[in-house]
Each structure stands twice: as C-alpha cells, then as structure tokens.
Amino acid sequence: MQRPRPGFPPLPTAAPRSPSGADERAAVRALIGRMTLEEMVGQLFVARVFGTSASDPDPADVAANRVDNGVDNAAELVARYHLGGVVYFAWAHNTRDPHQIADLSNGIQRAGLAAGARVPLLVAVDQEQGAVERIGAPVTSFGGGMALGANGSTDDAFAAARIVGAELAAMGINQNYAPVCDVNVSPANPVIGVRAFGADPSAVAALVAAQIRGYQAAGVATSAKHFPGHGDTVTDSHVALPVITHGPREWERVDAPPFRAAIAAGVDSVMTAHILVPGIDDSGDPATLSHAVLTGLLRERLGYDGVVVTDALDMRGVRERHGDDRVPVLALKAGADQLLDPPRLDVAFGAVLAAVRSGEVSRERLAESVARVLRMKLRRGVFEQAFTTPAAVDEVVGAREHREVADAVTGRGVTLLVNASGVVPLARGTERRVLVVGADPAAPSGVGGPPTAVLARELTALGVPARALPTGRAPDAGAIGGAVAAARDGADAVVVTTCNVTADTPEQVALVAALVATGVPVVTVAVRNPYDAAFLPPVAASLATYGWTDVSMRAAARVLAGAVRPAGRLPVAIPRADDPGADLFPIGFGLDG
C-alpha cells in the first residue's frame, strides 16, 4: 500500500520514478483526468513574483505584483492561475538569504495546497555560477561555466553541480536552469561568453553531461540551454533578436554535441533560445516559436521527448514580431511545454486558455505538455519532497566542506597566459608591497566583491601585503594618474583587474600602458572574458579567472602568491586583435607557472 506523501495528496496510482514505467504513465493519465482545463493550462506556466514572502511581501512588492499580474502576493498568484511553477530572481526580492528562501518556497507550496492543488510546484532559479547567480553568500559559489571548462575535469563539474543542487534543494528549490550547453565560438558574444564551458563541442558536451548527473544526484531538475545554440552571436537576445548563421552541417558539428550529450544523460528539460536560425528555419520567427527547430530538430532529429521550456518570454528577442497574447500560443504550437516568465501572466494565461477552447491548440496537444511536466516532477521526487526544513538549511547551505571543494575546483581553472621572468608567484615578505587596481564589475546578486578589494585582502592574508585602488572599467585621466603615482610610490608590483577589454574600450588599455611605463612589473587578471589579453600591451604576467566573484578572486590570489600552481587551460582560443583569423593563444594553452 502506497504511503501518503507529506502535504500533497497521493497519486491515483503507484508511480515509481522509472522513465518508461507503465505505472508512471498510468498515474500521470489519471491525474490529468482529474484536472480542470484551467488547472491543465496553469501547469504550463512558470511565473515570476515579487517579494520575500508568499503571503506578506513588502508594500513595494505588492505594488509590483499588482502592476504585473493583478495580485498582491505569491499565494494569490498560485491560487488564481494554478501555476505549475515559479522562478526566483534577486531583483524580485526572492533571494535575500537561505532561511527566507526556504520559507518562501514552503509558503508557495502551502499556497498551492490551500488552493486545492493536486500537484506541487516547480521552484526554479538561474544559479549557473559565476556570471549568473541569483543567490549570494552564505550559499556556496563556484567559478562558473568557463572556469570549469578551464579546469577540464568532469569529476569536478559533477561535484560542483551536486553541491549547488544540494544547497538549492535545502532551500526548497527543485529546478536549476543549468547547465549552459552553448558553444561559445564568438569572442564578441555579449550574452553567453564565460557562461559557456568553452568553444570545443566535445569538451563542452562532456562537462554538460557531468553537471546534469551532479544536479540530479542532488534531486534537482536540470535544463540544457539555449537550444539550438546561442554561442555564435554578437547580439543579446534580452534586447534584440540575434541571428545565427549556422546551416545544418555546421549546427550538427558545433552546436548539437552538447545537446545530444544532455539528452543521453537524461536532462529534465531543454530551454529554447530567442534567436533566428535561417539556415534551419527561414520563417523569420525565433527558435522559441519555430516548429522546424523545436519539433523538427529537437524532438524528431535528436529524439527528445522531455520538457521543452521557453527562455523568458519577457525578453525582446521573442516579442519583436508578435504580441504578448500570441507568443505563448505560438510557442506551444511550435513544440514547447513550459512557458517561462511571460511579461503579463494574465494575458498569456488567457491567450492559451482561449486557444484551447477555440481548438487552435487541441486538448490532446495540451495534455501532451502537461504529461511531460508531471513526469518531470515525478522523476525528480517533487511530489515526495515539496517542502524543506530550517534544519536542512543549517546543515547543508554553505557547509564548510562545500566551500572547500568550491575553492579547490575553482582554483584549478585559473589560467596563466604570460609569466615573463617568473614574476608569478609574487615575492612574499613584509617589505613587498603590491598595488591592486582596475575594474570592479558588480557581483551578481551581491555575491561578494568588489574584486580589487577581495584580491588585495586575500593576497595580504597569504603573506603578500597589498592595497586596493579601484579605477573602474573606464578610468579617466585622473584615475590613471592616481594609479601611476601609487605604483611609483614604492609598489613592487601592480595587479590590474581587467573586464571585457576590446578595441572599443581604450581606457583600460591606457591604464595598463601607463602602468607598464613606470617600470614596475604589471600583472593583468582578466576577471571576465579571457580575450582581454589580445588588446593589452605586453605585461610581466597575465592570468584569466573567467569570473570576478569572491571564489574566483581567492583562486587568483592563491596563484599569484604561489600557494597553488596554476593548472587551468584555455577552453577557448584567444584571437589576435590585429588578425582575428590567427590565434594569440590556442585552445588548451596555459603555463604551469
């Protein structure tokens, strides 16, 4: 006899989490048979909501909820729309601290129960690590995709995902929109970059599979993104509609391998990209709305029958040709199952409901998507483990052993590109003084920082006295002059953090050139894209960390101070600035120090 699951009612039939079990299919069919049309439509939506609490948010969050969706709080949103899931954002004030997040997650699940829901919600987040983290300290932080690519170890990739997943689960979050499957072959890519594992399709594929296994080992659902591949674009789909020029052969060679690996690893969902791929579909619609891409390429060619989730529907890239009432309907008709973060949930929900009632979207087609969503929830144990506890937060989130693994894994990705005359490691001793200047990109979701201060602090703790003098990403003449004066005032070395240097950012180049001219050894640390090295003048030493959060700065400090040897290898090629067709540093390059 099946034991009742905590909170939510037991399923109509025993449903072991077997991907092909007849019991699972029977349970899903029986559950769908008990749903109203509105409940079925609600299962398709994963929506945002403002506030730190499910039922009693701040007045400003109440106002924001009313503007977006005509409700006061998460509890009302769940009840009104029978939601299948919610997604957390730092800017929506969902992720203040671990205990608050756990309370919010439990409150949202209780709201579903109070509204008579038979199905628990997916609680999702973008916690990729590195450039995209919605939750800050004390949650354990890793270096991000490209840092893992430079590390190169599938064991480390698995360990990172398992730890991140375990901490998310302890906070009541049961889906992470990760890993990134994009192959970043464009150095000018403004939206992927260091979020990708690298530019080698087979290496990316291996790390993707390892991370999927790691998250699932922690009981967290995964999402391979952004299909059919967002790695070769110079446009940000948040603000415009990128065009990918890959034809079928190039797509198969470059973009497909990570998604094939994700499917083979049993990925729970695949997220669409708001990109045009005219070599595959010349209709003018983005991949999210393309039947040729979602059904023809993903389902038929790759054989994928799991959940297809759209990227956020409030992004400009998917809203250029169609109104907000048509986009969710067209996504469903193209082959999507879950509709993520529409700009107006009331509009999107009403449009899908009307499309089903009119027959534009058949009830059979609706049931297919609902069944996929329910199967994903079953397979990840969401029915059994919808709620978390304060004890789980205390025991798991930010555990010392987790932080130790994060430091070790991230440290193994730091890449030494230049080391003239063995400047690195920097000499230790109280008489040695290091000046740390440069860019301080804002940490995502307040994940520590600023980088120059963290780097100086960590160097000092390691026996290399250092002080920080941040100069910004676009230092003016005054800032550059101040840095030069400080370097000449007894500095034994200058460490310069750089961020996304290009031919269009001459200020950072001028800063480095002015410091080199002082004769003091200059060490540059690229704290985001590693391509900076191509645009900077020759320096004594150059490192790439692929990230700027505290864990990456600690890793850089240990390499600079000689506490660990640099082991990272470039997961992307760095082309020459004066000849982009030639490599300054090839994939796989890295000095041992």
List C-alpha distances in Å: 310 to 90, 288, 289, 367, 490: 20, 6, 9, 18, 55
How many angstroms separate the CA atoms of 486 and 119, rounded? 62
Residues facing 437 on adjacent strands? 469, 496
Kind and range of the H or E element at 233?
Answer: none
Q: Per-residue b/e over 133-164, b at no fewer than 16 CB within 10 Å?
A: bbbbbebbbbbbbbbbbbbbbbebbbbbbbbb
Do the Cβ atoms of 167 and 139 come closer than 8 Å?
yes
How many angstroms separate the CA atoms of 522 and 486, rounded? 13
- Helix/strand number for the chain, H first, E second: 20, 18
- Whose tokens are 């969706």? That residue is 69
Choose among 116, 120, 132, 125: nearest CA to 49. Answer: 125
Q: What are the residue numbers of the active site?
A: 238, 311
How many angstroms separate the CA atoms of 296 and 259, rounded? 15
- Whose tokens are 């297919």? That residue is 368
Q: How many CA atoms lie within 13 A of 395 on its CB side?
A: 8
How many angstroms separate the CA atoms of 499 and 524, rounded? 10
How many angstroms separate the CA atoms of 550 and 456, rounded? 12
Q: Per-residue b/e over 549-560, b at no fewer than 16 CB within 10 Å?
A: bbbbbbbbbbbb
Eight-class DSSP state of 497:
E
3-state SS, residue 417: strand
Choose among 391, 388, 405, 459: nearest CA to 101. Answer: 388
